[in-house]
Amino acid sequence: MRRQAFLAGCFALFLAGCGSDGPQLCEVVGTVTLDGAPIEGVELTFVPQNVPATMLSYGRTDAAGRYELAFTAAKTGAIPATHHVRVDIPGGKSMAKINKKYQPEGTITKEVKDGHNVIDIELSSP
């Protein structure tokens, strides 16, 4: 119980230090490939470590495998931190084995740093 109160207090201080615009966000773009080829429709969720789970960012790849992370519908980017990356590839049974390989979160870890980040994610078939 004490730990929860401590974490809630730290989170409140973190948000208070961010001003009315919310937390500091850094631009994150990249390409997702599967066995070297760009893959469309991959859903990515970047979950920061040691930060409340509400601070996650998300993106979806286009036909060229490119993505840009969003923090909210109105704000792009991700907070600077080490992130576990969740990967969800649409395609039903044909992609089930690949999805299983990259889930649960933590299989892929990426660092978001201040400024502009290009984070490419290379996936491989099992």
Domains of the chain: total: 1
In degrees, rounded to 5, the angle at the alpha carbon of residue 48 between the alpha carbons of residues 11 and 51 is: 15
Higher local confidence (pLDDT), 48 or 53: 48
Evaluate whether residue 12 is within a structural domain.
no
Whether the predicted model's global pTM rises above the 0.75 cut: yes
Q: Is residue 10 part of a domain?
A: no
Is residue 14 one of the residues assigned to a domain? no
At 21-42, the pLDDT tens digits run: 788 999 999 999 989 999 999 9
Residue 101: CATH number of its domain: 2.60.40.10
Residue 3: predicted pLDDT: 40
Is residue 57, in this structure, part of any structural domain at all? yes
83 assigned to some structural domain? yes
